[in-house]
Amino acid sequence: MNKDDFYYLGNITKPFGSKGQVVAYLDVDEPLQYKKLESVYLDLDGEWVPFFIEEIEFQSGSKVLFHFEGVNTSQDAAVYTGRKMYLPLTYLPPLKGKKFYYHEVKGFIVIDKVKGNIGTLVKVIDLPRQCLLQIAFGEKEILVPLLDEIILKVDRKKKELYICAPDGLIDFYT
């Protein structure tokens, strides 16, 4: 397994108590969807290592206490401070309609309402203030802001993403 087989779940911030628990923050829209989680993966120097969960306790918001099997003291838990937690992509529930996971639409043909086929989606660039669709159009690159009002349709069977780019944006790149 490699990093492309996983998605980022959250980050371990510190040990908690004396029995080996850790405090983590989940970087997900609905943290409570993960209350039956059995394990998470940590990237330990390039090795994807599963950590089985003995106990999980949800605090406020996205704050969660984990107790992993074999981690029984605060010293054991401290080793994992700052580590990122991941889950396999297969754990993600399927999305419908215009909603999609960024990895899911990589390679889709992007079709603009006015300009038609404008290329192939290389990736979604996840920036702090705004996400962008990076589209390969021949030798050129087109960047389109990823906004709900721009996405018209996701056709998973045909691997096509239909958009309505802002006026003049596509012309700027072509």
Per-residue pLDDT of the chain (174 residues), as tens digits, is 677 788 889 999 999 999 999 999 998 878 888 889 999 999 888 888 999 999 999 998 899 999 999 999 999 999 999 999 999 988 887 788 898 888 889 999 999 999 999 999 999 998 888 999 999 998 999 999 999 999 999 999 999 999 999 999 999 988
Place of tokens 């159009």: 137
Helices (H), 5-120: 74-78
At residue 121, the pLDDT reads: 97
Residue 33: the pLDDT is 85
CB-based contacts of 55, cutoff 8 Å, min separation 6: 21, 65, 66, 67
* 11 CA to centre of own chain: 13
Element at 96 (helix H, strand E): none
What's the CA gap between 112 and 62, in Å, rounded?
37
pTM of the shown model:
0.70
Question: 86: helix, coil or strand?
Answer: strand
What pLDDT does residue 47 have?
85
The predicted structure's pLDDT at residue 43: 86
Q: Are 120 and 172 in contact (CB under 8 A)?
A: no
